[in-house]
Every structure is written in structure tokens, then in C-alpha cells.
């Protein structure tokens, strides 16, 4: 199910409390968490999943569950969903294994040194965007307005910049629009621009001195201002 304007789109939301909390400086809190991270990486690298990518899948979570879940619980959710869609696992398989583990069964490790090598190679390899085109839709210094829109499903255009006017600062390169690419559509790459916005434009006059927010936005998200 595709959702519109998910709860993951958090810029400017309120009520979440302090940033600095005890234990928050660690990348994870439980030993199972980095293992779920690794499993998600391997599902992608080994082609065991299907459907939208892990990130778009996490955004499909029930909003109350998304907010209540820990970060790596969300990753566990997306790992399972992508495996189910591919048919790598069937509904009930995970629950059945939970029962076996709870009954005291121990599972032997499965070794595959070549798979370990493959994933390390992949994680050490960068996949840069294509080079910026000589002539694109917009140019550095140009004023642009972010389109008012509520895309169905995944997007990288946060709510808080829609409708706002900013200034193109740089062309980053070309990349496929994630709104369509994550659903498997075969589309051509388009330019991605670094765009700056004043805090007044985004939030109105605030309690803090003026500041600047910069985002990297695909050409499709914008129109000339």
C-alpha cells in the first residue's frame, strides 16, 4: 500500500522532546540490531527481496508502529516484507522459527566465505551519480519554487519545503527520480540540485536568528520562481 505524506517526514514536527539522551550516542543498543542491519544489506546484495527498496518499505509501516518502533525494528520490518514479496520466505515462517527457538532449538551457523567477500566488496564500492549535464532545467543562482504536491508513496521532497522559494546553489549530478525508481520503473536520470532556503521562507519569523537550510532536490520537484 502506498501512503501519502508519511510520518517519517519529520522536518519541523514538534513534540518529540530532547535530542540528547543517555545512551543516544551509541549506534545501537542491542546486539541483534547490527545483525538486522547486516541482513538487510545482504537481502539487497544477494537479490533475496522484491518490491520497493528497504527505505520505501519502512515508510509503509503503520504510522503509530513507525513512531513506536526502534530504528532497527523498522529495518527488521522492511527485511521481512521484502523477503515475503520475493517469496524467499512465506507468511508464518518467521513465527514458526520463533517457536522452535523458544523451545530451545539451537541453529547451527551457515558459513559462506564467498558471500562475506561479496558484501564487503559491495560496501567498499561507491556508486556515484552521473555527471552534471552542461545544460539542465535550472542554473546556479536561479530562484526556484518547490512544487506543491503530495506524491503517492516514496519521495525525497520533504513536506516542509513544498511551495517554498529557494536558490539553486550547485548541480550535484544526475540520478533517477526515487519516487518512481524505487518502484522499479525504468526511467532516465535527471539533474539533482543543491537548493538553499531561508529560515523565514520555511518557517516564518522565528525565535532564532535567521539561518539557511539546504536540500538536494531532483529537477521534477521544482519550477522556475
Site for other proteins in 76-95 (CB under 8 A): 76, 79-80, 88-89, 93-95
The answer to the question of residue 70 lying near other proteins (CB under 8 A) is yes
The minimum distance between CB 149 and other proteins, in angstroms, equals 15
Whichever of 24 and 141 has its CB closer to other proteins, that residue is 24
The answer to the question of residue 205 lying near other proteins (CB under 8 A) is no
DSSP string, the chain: ---BS-TT--TT------S--TTTTSS-SSTHHHHHHHHHHHHHHTT---SS-HHHHHTTS-HHHHHHS-HHHHHHHHHHHHHHHHTSS-TTHHHHHHHHHHTT--PPP---HHHHHHHHHHHT---PPBPPPSS-S--TT-EEEEPP---BS--SS-GGGTT-EEEEEEEEEEE--HHHHTTT-----EEEEEEEEEHHHHH-S-SSPP-EEEEEEEGGGEEE-
Q: Which of 127, 148, 150, 186 binds other proteins (CB under 8 A)?
A: 127
Stretch that binds other proteins, among 65-73, 134-142, 181-189 (CB under 8 A): 65-73
The answer to the question of residue 97 lying near other proteins (CB under 8 A) is yes
Residues 158-177 that bind other proteins (CB under 8 A): 158, 160, 172-173, 175
Amino acid at each position: 500500500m502506498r501512503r501519502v505524506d508519511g510520518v517519517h517526514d519529520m522536518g519541523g514536527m514538534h513534540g518529540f522532546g530532547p535530542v540528547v539522551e543517555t545512551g543516544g550516542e551509541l549506534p545501537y543498543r542491542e546486539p541483534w540490531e547490527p545483525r538486522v542491519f547486516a541482513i538487510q544489506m545482504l537481502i539487497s546484495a544477494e537479490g533475496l527481496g522484491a518490491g520497493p527498496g528497504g527505505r520505501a518499505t519502512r515508510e509503509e509501516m503503520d504510522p503509530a508502529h513507525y513512531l513506536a518502533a526502534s530504528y532497527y525494528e523498522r529495518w527488521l520490518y522492511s527485511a521481512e516484507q521484502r523477503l515475503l514479496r520475493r517469496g524467499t520466505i512465506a507468511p508464518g515462517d518467521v513465527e514458526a522459527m520463533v517457536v522452535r527457538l523458544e523451545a530451545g532449538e539451537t541453529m547451527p551457523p551457515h558459513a559462506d566465505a564467498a558471500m562475506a567477500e561479496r558484501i564487503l566488496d559491495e560496501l567498499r564500492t561507491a556508486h556515484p551519480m552521473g555527471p552534471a549535464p552542461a545544460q539542465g532545467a535550472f542554473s546556479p543562482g536561479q530562484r526556484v519554487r518547490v512544487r506543491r504536491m503530495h506524491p503517492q508513496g516514496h519521495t525525497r521532497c520533504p513536506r516542509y519545503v513544498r511551495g517554498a522559494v529557494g536558490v539553486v546553489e550547485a548541480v550535484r549530478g544526475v540520478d533517477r527520480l526515487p519516487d518512481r525508481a524505487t518502484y522499479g520503473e525504468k526511467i532516465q536520470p535527471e539533474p539533482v540540485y543543491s537548493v538553499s532556503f531561508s529560515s523565514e521562507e520555511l518557517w516564518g519569523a522565528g525565535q532564532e536568528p535567521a539561518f539557511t537550510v539546504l536540500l538536494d532536490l531532483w529537477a521534477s520537484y521544482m519550477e522556475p520562481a
